[in-house]
Structure 1
């Protein structure tokens, strides 16, 4: 008798699971249909908002066009800087037990996927994403290096400070520096990105 009751309950549970699965599938189909519709609406809006290359070039001020080779010429030293700084941290940071900076946390290349940008705008976004990301990457490597070797604030106020600067010792405070520099280095080696 008890087995009969258990079998009934199991059958009801299976029926409810099937019903739940069917409802979830309906929801999923509705959701994917809505996403597909929204995706198509977004693509249509992007196509509408995208400025054609000829129009873009025709409406760009001549000085902007003439300055483009100067801007793009900076890419060569930037690539070299990227290479040198990456080698530097791969060689030196393990020696001092400093966590390496993850390049992918700073250099984010994603704006080229935006459908409302034309080819030139996508290339410009690619350049800016790379260059500004590289500057952040280099700045973080330099900040960790500075915290390890010379964690002393400047006498004059800086307009912009890096991520580690707030931990540095006051300019001219030799006592605190001597007593705390090893601890600050240790804190840096214990940091995880």
Structure 2
């Protein structure tokens, strides 16, 4: 811990070493907190209202958002703030993605006609595009899988 504090770059030194363009973009980056918080509120409400109706297991926020980097003594205050913001933003997006993936599995578990980069983990189990014969059965199976993920009770 002592060595970590010794390795910390003082805030003034950190700022002096930053390019002006980087400093000037900070308000743009941090303005993103507003839509992130609104997204967080909406997705929380959406999940609380809709998932019980669809019999989909709740996605715990804490499994996706972690605030632990503030404990790193080698980071200065601004670096800790940056890490806090990035942890929240990336965790929120990952959490939202899982909620959207479960929603897609419930409502429209059909693969797209073309290959996509960065598909979610549930996508591979979806029904192939154009497979009308398999769609209804696949939809029932995938919804049953979602329901099976719910905790008993």
**Normalization by structure 2: what TM-score?**
0.96
Partner of 2:55: 97
Note the C-alpha offset of 1:54. Answer: 0.6
Partner of 1:141: 99
Alignment RMSD: 1.0
* Distance in 1 (alpha carbons) for counterparts of 2:29 and 2:37: 14
2:24 pairs, out of 38, 43, 66, with: 66
* Distance in 2 (alpha carbons) for counterparts of 1:89 and 1:47: 42
Partner of 1:81: 39
Give the ranges of 4+ consecutive aligned residues of structure 1 lying more than 3 Å apart after TM superposition. none
Unaligned runs of 5+ in 1: 1-42
Partner of 2:78: 120
More relative contact order in 1 or in 2 (CA 8 Å, sep 6+)? 2
Unaligned runs of 5+ in 2: none
* Distance in 2 (alpha carbons) for counterparts of 1:150 and 1:180: 10
Which is higher, the Rg of structure 1 or of structure 2?
1
**Normalization by structure 1: what TM-score?**
0.76
Q: Larger helix proportion, structure 1 or 2? A: 1
When the two structures are aligned, how many residues end up with a matched partner?
151
